Amino acid sequence: MTAIRVDVGGRPVLMSPQGATGAWLRAHWWSTSAAEPSASWLARASKSFWLEWHREVRRHAGDERLPLALRARLRESAHRSLARSATAAPIGERFPRRLLRERVHASLPPALITEASNAAAAAGITSDRPIVAVEHCRRPDKCTEAVAWLERQGYRVIDPSSAAQGTPLVGLFLLRVARFLVCESADLQHTAYLTDTPSLLLNALDPFSGYPVRGDSLFTLKTAINLDSGQTLGPRALIEESYLRDRANFGYRGNDGAEVLAAVQEMHEGLTQGWRESEAQTEFRDLVTKAGTTLAARVPHVALWGPDEGFLGDGRLARCQADRAR
């Protein structure tokens, strides 16, 4: 069985996924790896730079303490930066949601399993308590209450990035044995599909790119704030074409501690009592699916991350946000 590379903690590890999903993962990696070091990487880096530059310049353009003429020049510079970011965006293929719906049987070679187990034990990762992998939060203070709650439930909380410092095998081993993953990185969310690990993605920027494929997974959304008006947008507004076409004109406020705690508690509840979906969660999925089907022909971001032949995902927006979005 041909293995593919999975980046864990910034280092490559070989795994052998099987089945139709494994075939897609291998083909996808082969097709993208050749272009990755050059044009594709540069295009993404360029897009990111010009978007950040646009956002920063636009922020200063709204500063009423600056002279009017300077603010006008800053606005013009912001518009040029936004245009450059659009031309730098690489064209991607559609995210294969239906294919990833299939559970993946992925395994390491026996020798690496032994090595990973020994390295994990040496790093203090043992099976005496159930493990939850929690990626280091950009705002650790927002995760403190949730981590403390998990520990009170008897979980051991381990950061997969820190665990992979010694060897990437430890990070991969951690994902394979964890009851679930809490992350802010879409890359880790996608790796969890490979290791068949339930996941909670925090602070997604839109409902399309963050929507989980698997039914044992949740996600939360950041609050978008219009940099011109100061208006905040709720989850429903994040599927509107006006927002999706002008995301660079928004700043974001991350989930607060209460939202993170509620989402983590919902993950624990789903794993211990069975996954239950509220009416609001079903309604939100239907709204995003309908919007994605309509907008895919007009908005490239939605074409890439939106529904795959009508299928968005079996997962759901965390109940604490879905119930408020009705």
End-of-domain residue from the set 93, 123, 156? 93
Q: Which helix (H) or strand (E) holds 258?
A: helix 257-273
Which of 148, 255, 139 has the alpha carbon at shortest distance from 204? 255
CB atoms within 10 A of CB 239: 22
Residue 3 lies in a domain: no
* pLDDT lower than 50: segments of the chain: 1-2, 4-14, 20, 23-41, 91
pLDDT value of residue 156:
94
pLDDT value of residue 317:
98
Distance CA 134, CA 195 (A): 15
Residue 320 lies in a domain: yes
Residue 156 lies in a domain: no
Distance CA 57, CA 73 (A): 10
Contact call for residues 239 and 294 (beta carbons, < 8 A): no
pLDDT value of residue 28:
44
End-of-domain residue from the set 48, 69, 93? 93
pLDDT value of residue 18:
53
Residue 287 lies in a domain: yes
End-of-domain residue from the set 61, 93, 125? 93
Distance CA 65, CA 251 (A): 21
Q: Per-residue b/e over 267-301, b at no fewer than 16 CB within 10 Å?
A: bbebeeeebeeeebbeebbeebbebbeebbeebeb
Name the maximum alpha-carbon separation found in the chain.
Answer: 68
Domain span including residue 281: 198-326
Distance CA 92, CA 113 (A): 34
pLDDT value of residue 36:
43
pLDDT of 252-298, one tens digit each? 999 999 999 999 999 999 999 999 999 999 999 999 999 999 999 89
Dig out the tokens for 239 from the structure: 């599927």
Residue 37 lies in a domain: yes
Residues 6+ apart with CB under 8 A from 11: 164, 167, 168
pLDDT value of residue 22:
52
234 backbone dihedrals φ, ψ, rounded to 5°: -85, 175
**What's the N-to-C CA distance of the chain in angstroms?**
47
Number of independent structural domains in the chain: 2
Q: What is the DSSP letter of 247?
A: G
Do 87 and 209 reside in the same domain of the chain?
no
Dig out the tokens for 196 from the structure: 């068949």
Residue 9 lies in a domain: no
R_g (Cα) of the chain, nearest Å: 21
pTM to 2 decimals? 0.74
Angle ∠(199,200,205) on CA atoms, nearest 5:
125
**CA dist list (Å): 227 to 14, 47, 56, 68, 70:** 43, 19, 10, 18, 18
pLDDT value of residue 176:
85
Residue 219 lies in a domain: yes
Residue 69 lies in a domain: yes
